[in-house]
Structure 1
Amino acid sequence: MTGAADDAGLILGVNLQGFGQRPAAWRTQDVEPTDLLSAGFWGDLGRIAERGLLDMVFFADHPAFGDPNVRAYGLLEPFVALGVIADATSHLGLVGTASTTYNDPFDVAERLLSLDTVSGGRVAWNAVTTYDRSVSANFGVATNPDRPERYARAGEFVDLVTALWRSAATGVPVVHHGGFLDLEGVLRVPPSAQGHPVVFQAGGSPHGRDLAARVAEGVFAVELTPEPAREHRRAVKAAAETHGRSAADVAIVPGLSLVLGSTEAEAQRRFDELEALAPDGYSLRALGTHLDADLSGLEPDAPIPSAILDREVDPVTYGPSLGYHETVVRWVRANNTSLRDVLRGFGGYGARIVVGTPEQAADTIEDWYRTGAADGFNLMIDEFPRGLETVVDELVPILQRRGVFHRSYEDVTLRGRFAARARGL
């Protein structure tokens, strides 16, 4: 697909998932396991991303103990790694995750504004709620609060953090005594070049969408197909207007998984190689998590039973992402020829996946962008650094030639770039 006119407002970020989104990425590259703990590794990834004029890098967070032998991922606190990348770059946006469930709002406000100030106004906060039992146990809490309580606290938490950021500019102390949080104070950190960090939100449930519409400037979306993605984007932007904001104030950025090759056959071969090297049952467990079911005893050549797909989950007590669950169930229903086929199509582990050439990836990106399914993408690349270099050297130039991606940074600050490319409904 090629557009008739330039509209170079596409937002592109990259999700820095260890050695790559594929669990076996460390086995197919010339890397050392300890690279994930080195400043040089993260600084190099930042420099590659900035060479490709990408808008931002993104770190998720899972503040609990895990087994790195299953997947080498998330070994550093996100804002420590982002600080290294900030030092290695000058324009690249720096998006990090901090939960509203167990963190302290003053600490989050001070820590993020500090990095935003020293980086020249390039930081964004991905504000998420926390549901995983291993995380709550790591904080000495027996169980996580239910969804309504988590999002009620999240709304109060985000409001308090942004109030503290404003206090850094005004010097007026914040006095807050709410349903979940109590605080009286003022930040000593000076405002950044963009004022304060941009706010992202990643929830796909009704609670998450409402929070995003009220407070977020960027939304990490989870839709797998274009029409539901268009509906989600319209719904969030319309909801933003009900909160007194402009639809253009919120950018919708779905995840997109990429396994690229010079030909489609080469990309498919690389996908198969990486999947074969992954830990046994990795894809099956990932799919089971999104479907809230144990799939280990199912017949590989039979469809997934309707009893699994038809089962209702309680939106109040269901722990994992409700948006992911609904999206994956809808996609499986449309592609349920056999469990084996579903697992292959599920290769993005919950994100839409393109296994093909850079031109085919550009087709998907351009189509979603021009038809209002997305304002940009958070790319989930198979391997780092090799796959990121392919994106920068081969995919980005195609998008630039098609007139959907910029050829220079319009603004040093992340908020300035978002404002320059804002789109309404």
Structure 2
Amino acid sequence: MGKAKKQVHLNVFLRQAGHHAAAWRHPKTTPELTFDFGYYKQLAQTAERGLLDSVFMADGYVGTGRRLEPFTLLSALSVATTHLGLIGTVGTTYNEPFHVARKFASLDHISGGRSGWNIVTGHTDATAFNFGKETHLEHSERYKWAEEFVEVTKKLWDSWEEESLVFDKASGISIDEAKLHEINFDGSVYRVKGPLNIPRPPQGYPVLVQAGSSDSGRELAARTAEVIFTAQPTLAEGQAFYADVKGQLAKYGRSADELVVLPGFSPIIGHTRAEAQELEDELNAFHDIHDAVAKLSERFGVDLTGFPLDGPIPPIIDPKGIESVNGSKSRHQLILDMLRSDSSLTLRQVVNRLASARGHLTYTGTPIEVADVIQRWIENHAADGFNLMPPIYPGGLDIFVDKVVPELQNRGIFRTAYEGRTLREHYGLTRPANSYSIGPEEAAAAP
């Protein structure tokens, strides 16, 4: 028998009307359903029909109301699905480990072991203002906080050993108190006594996801994450990132298969190439290009509003360098790299490319061509799968599930049925042992 083909992992990123900046204006979207549970239930059930690994909900603590709070929505979706993984963003800078540990343990119990935590540190001073802070914590300091935050949270999940709940009616003992542990964590940022007030999650820990591609983000991923969402717009960049982040795992005693790399991918799909291009043209026509140029100008501190849209883009001057950025460094660098890698791009092309998926991988074509892209990245060590970002909902997800998934199955690189029930099983990740159930040397070596 020949060597088994590598299997593709697929998460879908739920985002209101879709991932194109102008999705909400397209006649085939329903932005008025942004806060309607039935809308997200339909999307989640479509993803499950397509046997996708998981859905993902992003979150933030600033800006106008454009999204539901993930814990609430994912808990509701857990009873509307049976296998689909449920991943939600929770920032570390403006939360407490005990609260987050308790909420994710609850979601994991409710869903039967299908939860995942997308770990972010947050960005912008505007976020800080909403929590009574004068400024946003500096980038490298945020990541130090995040590492300690995750460490505390894992200890809290471990504070209940397996089979702590006994419910022995004859003896009158419901909990084996000897299997509950105070963690007495005393770090540089957090002090937490414990134990948690809810038993250990069914998965041991929810799947730990990290989003970001900065140096600090890669380090956090190599040390802590089990899945990483990243933005790599070309195969070569994907290969370089994949090799780098996988190569850092060994220093933490981890193997390459303990981290699943999922670049964002926004395919614009049509039954024919002409149909796909028509959809892209429609979306770009709805895009407020002048507003987009103004935002690009603001990001880089250079006024681009007076330049011709169809002329070559002027050099972007970034005098202070990437180190001066205290928000999303990886997104800032991604845009810079795109501008510097292709001097033929016009200003219109740049903002339209950013509008389609904010710098992630895009492709416009048929289901077979989209499957080709996925297979090429998988076989050339640029990804373990993709964080799907359909340009419009529900149509962009429908055509992917109905046309691309069968093509991937025909090629033998995607499942034809769920083989497990938990999110860890979907991603091929082991259930972590409880640190109180293993020896001290093993516990010290555990990631």
TM beyond 0.5 = yes
Compare 273-282 and 7-16 and name the one that shifted more: 273-282
Query: Residue 176 of structure 2 aligns with which residue?
Result: none
AA partner of residue 336 (structure 1): S
Following the alignment from structure 1 to structure 2, what is the Cα–Cα distance between the partners of residues 114 and 298? 53
The answer on whether the counterparts of 1:121 and 1:413 sit within 8 Å (CA) in structure 2 is yes
The answer on whether the counterparts of 1:117 and 1:192 sit within 8 Å (CA) in structure 2 is yes
Compare 208-217 and 173-182 and name the one that shifted more: 173-182
Q: CA-to-partner distance for each residue in 1:191-240, whole Å, 9 max, x for gaps?
A: 23322201011121111111100000001111111122112111111111
Structure of larger gyration radius: 2
Structure 1 residue corresponding to 2:418, chosen from 402, 406, 409: 409
Distance change (3 Å), C-alpha of 1:350 and 1:291: farther
SS of the equivalent of 1:361 reads helix
AA partner of residue 340 (structure 1): R
AA partner of residue 332 (structure 2): H
Distance change (3 Å), C-alpha of 1:303 and 1:221: same
Matched, 1:116 2:108: yes
AA partner of residue 230 (structure 2): A
Query: Residue 182 of structure 2 aligns with which residue?
Result: 173
C-alpha displacement of 1:34: 4.4
Matched, 1:371 2:380: yes
Structure 1 residue corresponding to 2:235, chosen from 223, 226, 229: 226
C-alpha displacement of 1:288: 5.0
Matched, 1:54 2:63: no
AA partner of residue 196 (structure 1): Y
Structure 2 residue corresponding to 1:185, chosen from 191, 194, 205: 194
Q: In structure 2, list runs of 5 or more residues that go unmatched.
A: 162-178, 431-447
SS of the equivalent of 1:208 reads helix
The answer on whether the counterparts of 1:7 and 1:405 sit within 8 Å (CA) in structure 2 is no
Query: Residue 7 of structure 1 aligns with which residue?
Result: 5
C-alpha displacement of 1:370: 0.8
Query: Residue 240 of structure 1 aligns with which residue?
Result: 249
SS of the equivalent of 1:185 reads coil
Query: Residue 152 of structure 1 aligns with which residue?
Result: 144
SS of the equivalent of 2:405 reads helix
Structure 1 residue corresponding to 2:71, chosen from 70, 79, 87: 79
The answer on whether the counterparts of 2:322 and 2:333 sit within 8 Å (CA) in structure 1 is no
Q: CA-to-partner distance for each residue in 1:120-168, whole Å, 9 max, x for gaps?
A: 1110000001112221111121210111111110110011111111113
Query: Residue 209 of structure 2 aligns with which residue?
Result: 200
Query: Residue 433 of structure 2 aligns with which residue?
Result: none
Matched, 1:161 2:169: no
C-alpha displacement of 1:5: 6.9
The answer on whether the counterparts of 2:17 and 2:30 sit within 8 Å (CA) in structure 1 is no
Q: Give matches, 1:377-396, under 5 Å.
A: 377-396=386-405
Query: Residue 348 of structure 2 aligns with which residue?
Result: 340
AA partner of residue 209 (structure 2): F
Compare 15-24 and 113-122 and name the one that shifted more: 15-24
The answer on whether the counterparts of 2:55 and 2:87 sit within 8 Å (CA) in structure 1 is yes
Structure 2 residue corresponding to 1:272, chosen from 258, 268, 281: 281
SS of the equivalent of 2:16 reads coil
C-alpha displacement of 1:312: 4.7
AA partner of residue 328 (structure 1): I
Compare 22-31 and 382-391 and name the one that shifted more: 22-31
SS of the equivalent of 1:121 reads coil
Following the alignment from structure 2 to structure 1, what is the Cα–Cα distance between the partners of residues 248 and 89? 24
Q: In structure 1, list runs of 5 or more residues that go unmatched.
A: none
Q: Give matches, 1:212-223, under 5 Å.
A: 212-223=221-232
Distance change (3 Å), C-alpha of 1:318 and 1:31: closer
Following the alignment from structure 1 to structure 2, what is the Cα–Cα distance between the partners of residues 31 and 339? 27
- Normalised to the residue count of structure 2, the TM-score between the two structures is 0.86
Structure 2 residue corresponding to 1:107, chosen from 99, 109, 113: 99
SS of the equivalent of 2:116 reads strand
Distance change (3 Å), C-alpha of 1:391 and 1:294: farther
SS of the equivalent of 2:392 reads coil
AA partner of residue 143 (structure 1): T
Identity percentage over the alignment? Answer: 39
The RMSD of aligned alpha carbons is 2.1
Compare 28-37 and 179-188 and name the one that shifted more: 28-37
AA partner of residue 335 (structure 1): D
Distance change (3 Å), C-alpha of 1:294 and 1:361: farther
SS of the equivalent of 1:82 reads helix
Q: CA-to-partner distance for each residue in 1:48-84, whole Å, 9 max, x for gaps?
A: 1000001010111111132x6xxxx32x111111112
